[in-house]
Amino acid sequence: MKFTTIKITPDPFIFRITLARPEKRNAISAQMIVELLRAFEEAESSRARVVILSAEGKAFCAGMDLAGLQTIAKHSPEQNVEDSRRMALLFRRLYTFPRPVIAAVNGAAIAGGCGIATLADFTLAAPEAKFGYTEVRIGFVPALVSVFLRRQIGDKRSRELLLTGKIIGAEEAFRLGLATEIVPAEKLAARADELAASLLAVSPTSVARTKDLLTNTQAAALDEELEWAVRANAEIRATADFREGLASFLEKREPKWSGE
């Protein structure tokens, strides 16, 4: 498969995936989702024992791209469900990947991009990094990420982030447990490699079985919650507030909410 939105570098024991749409702030497109899923397939079938996920440019990932948002407005209910399920599949794949995943977050990680950044086993953040689940700001629902976020930081903190849509800095992300470490931007890649080396030094069998214990013992509950989230993600797109939120975002104006 030819990759156009990401780059992969399969080293002998480290599989590197780089988001490569810097001119779009590495925004998520339908093609990027397909390519990321394929990259994780290749990583699993390779000899690599660690995956490092990073990004080109100043942003890590700005969420869905404008073209994708404009397309969503024209989707049928069935297409909305299918689209939501693809994103859910990517999040689940990242969260339950059988080998350690390190995310090196160099800048803003927003909405779906925040999900990608924080669902890794280790999230290294540059001081300039920003995190936020901003869906409610455009009349959307952070349904898919909520399934994982509650598991990571608990119900109360999840409500604070998801209901306000606020953006937080690296220090607060670290305090909440969304970021594992704060690393100077110029040392981010080196620290990711250093962490990968420490993971390569331990038993691969033990690591694989520990990851299985951490993720697959709750697989049934995870899948059930994700199915609810997929439906919620699709259904919000039929509301007046979603249409207004999307239009105001694209037109760069304040939204006029109707509550419908």
The amino acid at 234 = A
Q: Is residue 221 part of a domain?
A: no
pLDDT of residue 232: 94
Structurally, how many domains does the chain consist of? Answer: 1
Q: Confidence class of residue 140 from pLDDT cuts 50, 70 and 90?
A: very high
Average pLDDT, the chain: 94
Most distant CA pair in the chain, distance: 56
Q: How confident is the model at residue 12 (pLDDT cuts 50, 70, 90)?
A: confident
Selected catalytic residue, list 44, 82, 128, 135: 135
Contacts with 81 (C-beta within 8 Å, 6 or more apart), sequence order:
230, 231, 234
Confirm whether 194 is domain-assigned: yes
Structural domain span for residue 70 = 6-200
pLDDT number for residue 182: 98
135 is a catalytic site residue: yes
Q: For residue 218, is it within any domain?
A: no
Half-sphere exposure of residue 27: CA atoms within 13 angstroms, side-chain side: 10
Which of the four pLDDT bands, split at 50, 70 and 90, describes residue 1? confident
Question: Taking 90 as the threshold, does the pLDDT of residue 71 lie above it?
Answer: no
Which CATH number is 135's domain given? 3.90.226.10
- Domain assignment present for residue 128? The answer is yes
According to the model, what pLDDT value does residue 246 have? 87
Give a yes or no: residue 71 inside a domain: yes
Q: What is the mean pLDDT of residues 112-121?
A: 96
For residue 215, name the pLDDT band (cuts at 50, 70, 90): confident
pLDDT tens-place string over residues 156-210: 999 999 999 999 999 999 999 999 999 999 999 999 999 999 999 999 999 999 9
Q: For residue 1, is it within any domain?
A: no
How far apart are the C-alpha atoms of 132 and 249, rounded to whole Å?
16
Closest CA to 233 of 119, 140, 114: 140
**Per-residue pLDDT band at 68 (split at 50, 70, 90):** confident
Task: Write out pLDDT tens, residues 42-56.
Answer: 999 999 999 999 999
DSSP of the chain: ---SSEEEEE-SSEEEEEE--GGGTT-B-HHHHHHHHHHHHHHHHSS-SEEEEEESSS-SB-SB-HHHHHHHTT--HHHHHHHHHHHHHHHHHHHH-SS-EEEEE-SEEETHHHHHHHSSSEEEE-TT-EEE--GGGGT---HHHHHHHHHHH-HHHHHHHHHH--EEEHHHHHHHTS-SEE--GGGHHHHHHHHHHHHHTS-HHHHHHHHHHHHGGGHHHHHHHHHHHHHHHHHGGGSHHHHHHHHHHHHTS-------
Structure tokens at 15: 């599989």
Average pLDDT on 128-151 reads 95
237 occurs within a structural domain: no
State yes or no: pLDDT of 77 exceeds 90: no
Q: What is the rounded average pLDDT of the residues 122-136?
A: 97
What pLDDT does 67 receive? 74
Asked if residue 260 has pLDDT above 90, the reply is no
Give the mean pLDDT of 91-118: 97
Q: Is residue 240 part of a domain?
A: no
Q: Average of pLDDT values for 233-248?
A: 90
**More reliable by pLDDT, 70 or 253:** 253
Token look-up 């990242």 returns: 94
Per-residue pLDDT at 89: 97
